[in-house]
Chains A and B, each alone.
Chain A
Amino acid sequence: MLSSGINVLFEGSNMQRLLGGLLITAQIAFISIIISSLLGIVVGLMMTLKSRVLQFVFRFYLEAFRIIPILVWLFFVYFGVTNMLDIHLDGEIVAVVVFSLWGAAEMGDIVRGALESLPKHQMESGKALGLSFWQLYRFVLIPQAVRRMLPGAINLSTRMVKTTSLVVMIGVIDVVKVGQQIIERSIIDFPAASFWIYGLIFILYFIICYPLSILSKKMEMKWES
C-alpha cells in the first residue's frame, strides 16, 4: 500500500504543481534574502557610527525579532496591521515584509560584528595613507569584512529558507499548501499520499538547505585560519 502510494507524486500534474508551489516558496525566500542583505548592510554600517541613539534603536529592533517568534510577526502583520490600516495585503507580501525586516536586523548584526572585528590598525593605517572616509570603507574595510560575514550570512539564508515553510499559515499557496491540497484530493485513491507528499517536501527543503550549510561551514573553516 505504501509503496504504491508513491505514484501520487506522479499522478496527473501533481509533481508540476508541487514544484510550482516550491517556486513561490523560493521566490519569497530569494526576494527576502536580497532585501535583507541590502538593508542589513545599511543597518550594519550605521551601527559602526557609534551613535548611542542609533545603537539603542537598533538593539531594540533586533531583540524584538529575536524574542518574538517569526510566526507571531507574520500573524501580527497579516491580521493586525492590515486590520488597523484597513488594507488588504496578500500573504506573499506580508511574508516578504516580515522576513526582510527580520533578515535585515540579523544581517545588520552580522555586518556590524564583521566590521568591529577588523583590527583597529587597519583603520588607522588606511587613514594614514590619506584615504577618505568612503575610500576607507570601499578599499580597506569592506573587502575584509565580507570574508568575515559570509559564513554567517549564508547561515542566515538557510534559516530564512527553512522559515518560509511558515507562510502556509497565512494563506500563501506555497509548496506545503499545494501538498495539502493534493493530499486532500487523492486521499481516496492514495491513502498513503500524506507520507509521500510530506516526505518529498522534507527532502526538497533538505536539498536546498544542506548545500548552503555545507558552504557556510567550509567558508568558516577556510577563513578561520
Chain B
Amino acid sequence: MKGNNKVLLEIVGLRKTYGARPVLDDINLSIHKGEVVVVLGSSGCGKSTLLRCLNGLESIQGGDIKLSGKSLTDKNVNWQEVRQQIGMVFQNYDLFPHMTVMENILLGPSKVQKRAEKEVMEQASQLLDRVGLLNRKDDYPRQLSGGQKQRIAIVRALCMNPEIMLFDEVTAALDPEMVREVLDVILGLAKQGMTMVIVTHEMGFAKAVADCIVFIDAGKICEIAEPDEFFSNPKTERARQFLNIFQY
C-alpha cells in the first residue's frame, strides 16, 4: 500500500440506479496518489458503470465522488476540466478513425487544453516512443492492429497529463497474442507511479500490477484486500467462487 500518500479520489456511499434497479450500491473507496486499484467481479456486476460514474459519463443517484477533495456532485463542477485530470481508456479502442495517430493524440491537448502544438508534439513523440509506436504516428487507425490501437488510446489519454487513469477491460477485445503488449504498457505506468483504476479479467496481470484489489458483487463492494491475500486466501465465499472460475 502506498497509503501514506494523500487521497486523490474518494468515493463515498456512491449509488447508481437504472430506473428502479440499483446497479451500484453504497460504494466506498479511497484511492491514494500513486496507488493502483484493480476492480474485479463477474460480468454485469457494475465495474464499467463504476468507472463511467467516476468520469461523469453516467449521472449518480446518491453519495459523492471527490477528486483532490473537491466534490464532483457539485452543480458548478466543470466536467470538461475534471475529465482532463481523469484519463479513460475503453474496451473498444475508440480512436477517431478520420484522424492520424498524431492527430488523435493532439486533439485533446491542443483544443481542450490549448497547449502549444510543439510542446505537445514532443511529449506525444516521447510517449509513442515508449510504447514502441513512434514510427506509426502518421498512420490511420485502420492501418493498426487492435493492440497497437489500444496502446495509442493509452497515449492519447496520457498526453492530457491526467492525475489518474481509468482502464476498462482494455484487453478484452484483443487477440491473445496482443494482450501482453498492452498490459506491459500499463505495468510500466504503474512502476512510474501513475494512479490507476483498472478493470480486468486477466488475473495474473491483476496480481502483478495491483496495490489493492476491490472485488464487486451485484453492485456492492464485497471485499477489499491486498492482491496476495485476495488470491491466496479470499475472505468471502463469493470471491472464492469467483476465483474458482478462473482455475482449471
The reply to whether A and B meet directly (CB within 8 Å) is: no
Residues of chain B touching chain A, judged by Cβ–Cβ distance below 8 Å, are: none
